[in-house]
Amino acid sequence: MAEKRKDKNGRILKTGENQRKNGTYDYRYTGTDKKVRCVYAKTLEELRRKEEIIQRDKADGIDYAAGEIMVSELIDRYVNLKRDWRENTRRAYGTAINRIKEDAFGQMKVRLVKPSDAKAFYIGLHDKGSKRNTITIFHSVLRPAFEMAVDDDIIRKNPFKFQVSDILQNDAEKRTALTVAQQKAYLKYVQENSQDNYYDDIVILLGTGLRVSELYGLTKKDVDFKTRCIFVDHQLCRTADKPYFITAPKTSSGVRTVPMSETVYAALKRVLKKRMASKSEPIIDGYGGFLFLDKSGMPKVAMHLENYMRNLQKKLNRIYGNTFPRVTPHVLRHTFCTNMQQGGIDVKSLQYLMGHSNVSVTLDVYTHTDFNAVQEAFRKVASSL
């Protein structure tokens, strides 16, 4: 009968257990992939706790060895399986993924991540200056990646199965719509002082609620002056990696037909009249005849208008002493939505015009009501009773 192996303290070692020359211990076992794996511990007690976990996981079909991969490796595995991400989504998520990989959290073993670790990672990002909306993007990657690990029997529970709002307060900058007086003042200043031909762009955004990338994606075929309709089924984007590319609207609900007001109709007519004649029309992903062109004859993109409005804001601040609200293309969209809501349009129609997939976004995020608007609405209803 073979003599039983013992450690230096005379304790009998089980199959697979071994005491190393430096006094620490290791345990060798065959994983589900038929490969020999090894775990280490400073004491025999610690080693056997690890053995119990391994045996329990093996009995339950949990792949302990796969759980040894790092968070960054799990993220790569998840991302490589995604084929439905749009260009802008992949770019936004890519920034978050890179930060995860650079952080110490990205080097943690997947099986060791606890809910407290996940929450601590988010709180750390927030303490370093990341807004909650930005951290929500991290959550949009990490939560499904760890859910995939659960489905693959790598871990038992998803440590990211919580809402970011449960641990962080909403710190997003409050969107404020321009008042009627502010809209008139802004348009008047642009019309009288703009040398860059952006007046009509702003008028159309304010009168349609289009996203700026949807506006600059419009071609001649997308505008019907007879029926006074604008057809939206794509947008024009630009990134540092890709100068120009066409994508579908932000959501499937973004495909819509937007009616023209008299003001928008006149502005679009002026755009066509002033549009530069080009010897060779730029073609982007099969689309040509773009309505809005820059000085070089190439289609405008969001960056053009954003830079213009940023410089314009500095001039307004000097005039109004920093009291004029910050105006961006998105503020124009927000103002359109609020104007429509306060004008009495029904919620479902407004949701359609904005291209929102969820009516709660239309109501909770974009519309803005103050006491004066409520008072006016009350007066209209009360007078009809």
Q: Which residues are marked as active site?
A: 211, 250, 330, 333, 356, 366
Helix (H, G, I), strand (E, B) or coil at 322: coil
Say how far apart CA 362 and CA 338 lie, in whole Å. 9
Sort residue 14 into left (φ over 0), alpha (ψ -120 to 50) or beta. beta
SS3 300: coil
Q: Tell me which H or E stretch contains 318.
A: helix 302-320
Q: Sign of the CA dihedral 280, 282, 286, 289?
A: negative
Alpha-carbon distance of 69 to 57, in angstroms, equals 16
Strand partners, 299: 293
Q: Kind of pairing, strands 17-19 and 229-232?
A: unpaired
| Spatial contact of 238 and 244, defined as CB atoms under 8 Å apart | yes
Give the three-class secondary structure for 136.
Answer: helix
Distance in angstroms (rounded) separating the CA atoms of residues 260 and 188: 21
Nearest Cα to Cα of residue 212 among 184, 191, 232, 240: 232
Q: Give me the residues paired with residue 29 across strands.
A: 37
Strand-by-strand arrangement of the 229-232 sheet: 223-224, 229-232, 256-259
